[in-house]
Amino acid sequence: MKKYLYLPVILILVQMSILGVEVENKKIINPKNSYTVGDRIKLEIILKKKEDEKIISIKDKTEKDIELIDSSIKRSKNRIIIKKTYQIFTLKAKSLPDLVINYQKNGTDEKLSVKGSSINIKELTDKNTKLSDIEDLKKDIETNYSIWPILGFIILLLAAGFGLYFLYKKFKIRNRSKDTAPIYLKEDIDPLEYLQENYSETPIDKYINEKKYKKLYFKITEIIRKFLSLYYRKNYIDMTVTEFKTYFDETIDKNLKKELFEFLTFADLVKFGKYKPDRDSLNNIERFMDKLISYYIEEQNKKDREESS
């Protein structure tokens, strides 16, 4: 009889040995009582696995009412932390997408389905408000108020706002006293030394290998702008590209000036996430910087020869 008492324990141990990847914890980060269109929802799932189990893929069930916009996975020997961010697109969204986790256990392909968490979607109108009340209010507004004067007033306000903004930008640019505002230097810095040293110390290959393109272009354009400010004693550091094109009227090689404007314009597209550079664009950084450095070294040599003669 005693040997049968161990049977439940044996069954539990056998069941635990055949269990594969399982959900240890699933939660919505900073949950709200209700959501509406445009809201973002952050989900965290912690998977428990054995050391020899290998996660192959984690797939979201396609939903048109709610869409995945960001995802990250952190792995360890026995845990996998999945973080996902979703955005609601319609009021029909009822739950987060289901997940399907494909993994290998003892060389065999297995699947784990994770049901998406339910969410409460806000209606556009208060549920306690009757439809007839809304219709009466609508008729009352239509009877007592004409929409055209209101629309005209709004259009006038918008036009005035755009006009003031345009004048502000125009005078802000015009009032930059570039000819009388040399940059403040705490110490005497040789412009060419600054350019060569800071450029040579920039780990371009490392940024490219780590795909830190924004950081790379921020660093390179910062070096270029400060060098030009040091060289010409004018503040080009804080100018937008449009302002820079307007006020950089130094006498330099025509083709180099064109390439300089193109490089700074392209760098802005990368820095603000509007363009992802390809290999040719990344190779162009070194080519352009070599050309820029060579040109100004030659210009400095010309100045030195003129001063000595």
Which stretch, 16-30, 78-92, 129-143, has highest mean pLDDT?
78-92
Spans of all domains in the chain: 18-114, 131-174, 191-308
Q: Considering only CA atoms, which of 269, 256, 184 is closest in space to residue 224?
A: 256
Task: Return the minimum-mean-pLDDT range out of 16-20, 103-107, 115-119.
Answer: 16-20
Q: Mean of the pLDDT values across residues 149-166?
A: 83
Average pLDDT for residues 95-102, to the nearest whole number? 82
Mean pLDDT along residues 37-64? 77
Average of per-residue pLDDT values in the chain: 76
The average pLDDT across 284-291 equals 92
Which pLDDT belongs to residue 177? 46
Instruction: Give the model's pLDDT for residue 224.
Output: 93
Q: Is the pLDDT of residue 295 over 90?
A: yes
- What pLDDT is recorded for position 7? 44
**pTM of the full structure:** 0.43
Query: According to the model, what pLDDT value does residue 258 have?
Result: 92
pLDDT greater than 90 at residue 10: no
Q: What is the pLDDT of residue 291?
A: 93
What HEC string does the chain produce? Answer: CHHHHCHHHHHHHHHHHHCCCEEEEEEEECCCCCECCCCEEEEEEEEECCCCCEEEEEEECCCCCEEEEEEEEEECCCEEEEEEEEEECCCCCCECCCEEEEEEECCEEEEEEECCCECCECCCCCCCCCHHHHHHHHHHHHHHCCHHHHHHHHHHHHHHHHHHHHHHHHHHHHCCCCCCCCCCCCCCCCHHHHHHHHHHCCCHHHHHHCCCHHHHHHHHHHHHHHHHHHHHCCCCCCCCHHHHHHHCCCCCCHHHHHHHHHHHHHHHHHHCCCCCCCHHHHHHHHHHHHHHHHHHHHHHHHHHHHHHC
Question: pLDDT over 90 for what percent of the chain?
Answer: 14
pLDDT of residue 107: 72
Q: What is the pLDDT of residue 122?
A: 74
Answer whether residue 234 shows pLDDT above 80.
yes
Task: Determine the pLDDT at residue 196.
Answer: 92
pLDDT band at 14 (very low <50, low <70, confident <90, very high): very low
What pLDDT does 296 receive? 92
| Cβ contact 255:292 at 8 Å | no
Level-2 CATH architecture, domain 18-114: Sandwich (2.60)
Q: Is it the case that residue 221 has pLDDT exceeding 70? A: yes
Is the confidence at residue 300, as pLDDT, over 80? yes
What pLDDT score was predicted for residue 141?
A: 47
Of residues 291 and 236, which shows the higher confidence score? 291
Higher per-residue pLDDT: 188 or 156: 156
Q: Please give the average per-residue pLDDT across 4-12, as a whole number.
A: 42
User: Percent of the chain beyond pLDDT 70?
Assistant: 76
**217 against 180, higher pLDDT:** 217
pLDDT confidence band for 171 (50 / 70 / 90): low
